[in-house]
Structure 1
């Protein structure tokens, strides 16, 4: 009975937090400017093109050459920040807001260790994670394990946020797909840089919530085995925006009015069905199985008010050999309290990879 009550408390905390963040009028809701018009049509086509029919198609990605500056340095570690032009193709660049054209990364690595004897994990942003700080805090203790941390600033977030956007509340549905597609392209380019230019012996990709969905997509599409570590993540954005708490922070009436320009008889139920169809493009169960599914570790919460258990289990079922680890808590409490479990999953996922053969 006590366990049930504690679990219910975590679940209630998620809903209280969600009500405060998404039902109040502190900021506009998600998608207050509608679907995105022709941009949405472009994104729907381009996301379908992510699935290569031929092995090795769309690889290697664009090679990046970040411009680095040192933020701080000690005897044992160094934190640098780098910038590079987004690696998206010209069609996507034209759809991106100008503020998102330049990508920014933080790179925390141990010193005096050859890259071929180190691992590096790219950390992707969850909803509302506009800075590097939280992900650097997660990765910092891994330095003693010779694991470096690379943190990507998402398009539409941080310094890449469009001027008219308030916080994390994306203006159009197309922005959500554009954020995801751009994040995937840039992360694949970062992994390629870590492999071919920096020479790291092992690599991985992780993320919390939305970042975990993107991490799963990247791990799925990578041509060689990488540790893939989605934390507190659904199998699809449908779960978050059509079933979970974020549905209360979505501008359904604005979306209905946008559709009604072409189809005046549209109801809210029609709008929700249209949203499900669009966001089905983010269903990771449709993506290829990663090259080494044993190096895929999901960390999920027992009483998550945002992500139901069935969503996590659907992806595990689609990727035989992957592992789910459960932590006691809700979405918000686990996000704050279970960093050690996330770090353990990173270490274990990397340990399930073979070291890259050094060049002769």
Structure 2
């Protein structure tokens, strides 16, 4: 009788899914148009300015004024969608495609208590999450805990996707850095709006996979304690594109040819090393420790084919006081089956924060 290791099945499922999504010719690979030229140089400079963050630097962020419309409303809850001009500065705005200049959010709020006695969590998008629905389903059951959900549509995704981009396959390496930098600015502005305009008593930020990396960055840079909840996420994009499954969906030859225009002919290994250097800018261990690391809870999968265990543990080590919770499964299966554990982490992270002094 042959016994099958369940963990291995989860790991294999990740690779089968990855092969279907990233090795077939159903869509072009990531970065089929190369590095991004001068945009990449701009983004490398702007991102390096994020850390180490000087106390008070870049705070408060630019004010946003969302224009809201009600999608549906009951006696106990309300779902609204809002649009606002991205708060990115002129340099970032000039680099963003025109389709990404206006940001969209969905805002699911319980109505039975006033905002100062409620919490709200900003949910950031993982790779390929173009709509609000997935994250609204994650946050919906938290209404009974008096926790509101705000879902940000990422630049380059959904209605903000550039005309020439197919699906989630970004055209240039610079687009990945630009997506992240703009997401950080928008999420920080949303947290500031929730604090100063909506007057929520507690706040948090979460995300799955790539969204978890961005959530960790936002929580790191926020000047006051927020619950920081990265789910199924690495400490750096290097892990995903240079070590994990996404390396099979990357246009390495196009990247090599793009470099060869300026430099001598390079080997693919030299191109991969260049990618590692560029994506080291996304290494969250280089960011400041969040103001309340006890309110940082990572949820990671035991048999993740995309995110190795060592990557999760590197960030926990860099942020003493943070917690890692393990769920049984791979990247895909955990994403589908463990929403209950993600919700519990959200609740527990918020419970580790103090209410605003004005409420005491």
> Which range, TM-score by smaller chain?
over 0.9
Is 1:39–2:39 an aligned residue pair?
Answer: yes
CA contact (8 A) 1:219 1:227 kept: yes
Q: Supply the distance in 2 between the matched residues of 1:5 and 1:359 (Cα, whole angstroms).
A: 51
Question: How much has 1:112 moved relative to structure 2?
Answer: 2.9
User: Equivalent residues in 2 for 1:112-191 (5 A)?
Assistant: 112-191=112-191
Match of 1:72 in 2: 72
CA contact (8 A) 1:126 1:209 kept: yes
List per-residue Cα deviations over 1:194-221 (Å, max 9, x = no partner): 0000000000000000000000000000
User: Equivalent residues in 2 for 1:311-322 (5 A)?
Assistant: 311-322=311-322
Is 1:230–2:230 an aligned residue pair?
Answer: yes
Match of 1:107 in 2: 107
Match of 1:61 in 2: 61
Question: How much has 1:143 moved relative to structure 2?
Answer: 0.2
Match of 2:292 in 1: 292
Match of 2:48 in 1: 48
Return the TM-score normalized by structure 1.
0.98
Q: Supply the distance in 2 between the matched residues of 1:203 and 1:173 (Cα, whole angstroms).
A: 32
Match of 1:214 in 2: 214
Which has the higher mean CA deviation after the structures are superposed, 47-56 or 323-332? Answer: 47-56
Is 1:12–2:12 an aligned residue pair?
Answer: yes
Q: Supply the distance in 2 between the matched residues of 1:55 and 1:31 (Cα, whole angstroms).
A: 35
CA contact (8 A) 2:116 2:359 kept: no
List per-residue Cα deviations over 1:148-170 (Å, max 9, x = no partner): 00000000000000000000000
Q: Supply the distance in 2 between the matched residues of 1:293 and 1:347 (Cα, whole angstroms).
A: 15
Match of 1:354 in 2: 354
CA contact (8 A) 1:52 1:58 kept: no
SS at match of 2:358: coil
Q: Supply the distance in 2 between the matched residues of 1:189 and 1:53 (Cα, whole angstroms).
A: 17
Q: Supply the distance in 2 between the matched residues of 1:88 and 1:190 (Cα, whole angstroms).
A: 12
SS at match of 2:121: strand
Q: Supply the distance in 2 between the matched residues of 1:110 and 1:205 (Cα, whole angstroms).
A: 18
Match of 1:248 in 2: 248
Q: Supply the distance in 2 between the matched residues of 1:276 and 1:217 (Cα, whole angstroms).
A: 19
Q: How many residues align structurally?
A: 360
Question: How much has 1:4 moved relative to structure 2?
Answer: 6.7
Q: Supply the distance in 2 between the matched residues of 1:2 and 1:127 (Cα, whole angstroms).
A: 36
Q: Supply the distance in 2 between the matched residues of 1:241 and 1:66 (Cα, whole angstroms).
A: 34
Q: Supply the distance in 2 between the matched residues of 1:245 and 1:217 (Cα, whole angstroms).
A: 23
List per-residue Cα deviations over 1:20-50 (Å, max 9, x = no partner): 0000000000000000000000000000111
CA contact (8 A) 1:105 1:151 kept: yes
Question: How much has 1:263 moved relative to structure 2?
Answer: 1.4
Match of 1:265 in 2: 265
Structure 1 spans left out of the alignment, 5+ residues:
none
CA contact (8 A) 1:66 1:84 kept: yes
Match of 2:89 in 1: 89
Q: Supply the distance in 1 between the matched residues of 2:328 and 2:225 (Cα, whole angstroms).
A: 30
Question: How much has 1:52 moved relative to structure 2?
Answer: 5.2
Structure 2 spans left out of the alignment, 5+ residues:
none
SS at match of 1:199: coil
Match of 2:198 in 1: 198
List per-residue Cα deviations over 1:81-140 (Å, max 9, x = no partner): 000000000000000000000000000000131111000000000000000000000000
Q: Supply the distance in 2 between the matched residues of 1:16 and 1:54 (Cα, whole angstroms).
A: 44
Question: How much has 1:262 moved relative to structure 2?
Answer: 1.1
Is 1:330–2:356 an aligned residue pair?
Answer: no
Question: How much has 1:293 moved relative to structure 2?
Answer: 0.2
Question: How much has 1:2 moved relative to structure 2?
Answer: 9.5
Q: Runs (4+) of structure 1 moved beyond 6 Å?
A: 1-4
Return the TM-score normalized by structure 2.
0.98
Q: Name the Cα RMSD after superposition.
A: 1.3
SS at match of 2:357: coil
Q: Supply the distance in 2 between the matched residues of 1:137 and 1:299 (Cα, whole angstroms).
A: 18
Question: How much has 1:265 moved relative to structure 2?
Answer: 2.0
